[in-house]
Structure 1
Amino acid sequence: MSNPQRAFIFDMDGTIVDNMAFHTKSWVAFFERRGHQIDPDEFFRATAGRQGHEIMRHYLGEHLTKEESAQLDFEKESLYRELYAPHLATVRGFDQFIANAKRGGVALAVATAAPNDNITFTLDGLDLRGHFRAVVGAADVARGKPNPDVFLLAAERSGALPAHSIVFEDAPLGVEAARRAGMRAVALTTTLPAEAFAEFDNVICIARDFSELDIEQLFAAAPAATAI
């Protein structure tokens, strides 16, 4: 009997690339244009992993139409790409980590709340897309994190069951989405300290970057409790 397909599912922003400070700067500038002041740290904790239209409607009003929200989201994301473009790079150890995973037969996928333009900007800008069996973004699912939709679809397209899939995340909402999907998670402290993930029983490892991770040790690790 063949071994089950194993998968690594990567969040993109803050996980593959250390870019969340630039997203925050673009959000601050976007809201300042509209006379709104936001606390950057509080905003990140409340929104990281949510889709753009969900954030727009929450902060600017449920009255926004889909078309109005899309226009606002385009403005904000264009500002982000302008800010981050000179700094585009993978998180330390990522390239070697995925090379090792592929040699070990692990299916690789991206599951992100980012719109297609940002996915293209990052994955194609770094020539990474060809490494992934599946790339799932905001356009592919109706609900953002902490709902599990994006991770479940990424696992399905990778040919792996949730129990054999490990999620890599930098945000609590993303780790919660993995928990709801029945998946173990690795939390990266690119954006928040380790304490931010202390409450999650599906976190099997907390690391600064991918150079600290061992593939077989991750798959051997079990969460403290079964996710629901």
Structure 2
Amino acid sequence: MTQAQRAFIFDMDGTIVDNMAFHTKSWLAFFERRGHTVDADEFFRATAGRQGHEIMAHYLGGHLTKEESALLDFEKESLYRELYAPHRATVKGFDALIAAAKSRRVALAVATAAPNDNIVFTLDGLALRGHFDAVVGAADVARGKPNPDVFLLAAQRCGAAPEHSIVFEDAPLGVEAARRAGMRAVVLTTTLPAEAFAEFDNVICVARDFSELDVEQLFGLGADFAATASTI
């Protein structure tokens, strides 16, 4: 009997790379230029995983045109890349985990709310793109997380069903998006503590980094959730 295609789907920011503090710094600086004071922790919890134009609309108003939003996105993301470039690196254990997954014929995908320039900055800047069977970003879907669109498209492009796909995330909105997609989730505590994810029934494992994870063990966890999700 042929085994169903399995997939690991990775959020990028805060998961493949530990960069969310730099995103937050760039957002705070961006809003400060416009006279807005934003609480860093509250901002992360409310926005991590959302697309840039969604964040702009929420904080600056829905009156922005598509062109105005694009220019503001460019300003903010340019600031982020300037801040993070000297620190760019994968999270501990990532390279070993994806090598182990590939040896077991697990498909690999990136599913991120990041714009294309940031995907290039991270994946190409770290020579990672060639490891992935699919890369899905903000330009590929209409809605950001917690909507499941980006994860469902990534799984589809990998040829894997949701119940055979495991998402790696660092943010509650991303874990919720995985839940809505019918996918199990592994949480990395690069940005928030484990308690921030206590409400999610699709979280099968919480780890500090990828070195604590085992490929086959992960697919054996959360079987009940996967079976239930596949029937919905």
Please give the range of the TM-score, normalised by the shorter of the 2 chains: over 0.9
Instruction: Give 1:146-161 correspondences, 5 Å limit.
Output: 146-161=146-161
Q: Which runs of 5+ in 2 are unaligned?
A: none
Identity rate of aligned residues, in percent?
Answer: 85
Cα deviation for residue 224 of structure 1 reads 6.1
The residue that corresponds to 2:173 in the other structure is 173
Q: Runs of at least 4 residues of structure 1 off by over 6 A? A: none
The residue that corresponds to 1:183 in the other structure is 183
The residue that corresponds to 1:59 in the other structure is 59
What is the one-letter code of the residue matched to 1:180? R
1:112 aligns with 2:98: no
Counterpart CA distance in 1 for 2:100 and 2:50 is 30
1:48 aligns with 2:64: no
Preserved contact between residue 56 and residue 69 of structure 1 (Cα < 8 Å): yes
Instruction: Give 1:126-137 correspondences, 5 Å limit.
Output: 126-137=126-137
What is the one-letter code of the residue matched to 2:17? V
RMSD of aligned residue pairs (Cα, Å): 0.9
Counterpart CA distance in 1 for 2:224 and 2:180 is 15
**Does the residue aligned with 2:4 lie in a helix, a strand or coil?**
coil
Preserved contact between residue 203 and residue 223 of structure 1 (Cα < 8 Å): no
Counterpart CA distance in 2 for 1:83 and 1:89 is 13
Preserved contact between residue 5 and residue 107 of structure 1 (Cα < 8 Å): yes
The residue that corresponds to 1:95 in the other structure is 95
Counterpart CA distance in 1 for 2:172 and 2:46 is 9
Counterpart CA distance in 2 for 1:5 and 1:120 is 27
1:3 aligns with 2:3: yes
Q: Which runs of 5+ in 1 are unaligned?
A: none
Counterpart CA distance in 2 for 1:13 and 1:59 is 21
The residue that corresponds to 1:219 in the other structure is 219
TM-score (norm 1): 0.98
Cα deviation for residue 42 of structure 1 reads 0.2
Cα deviation for residue 222 of structure 1 reads 1.2
Preserved contact between residue 6 and residue 106 of structure 1 (Cα < 8 Å): yes
What is the one-letter code of the residue matched to 1:70? A
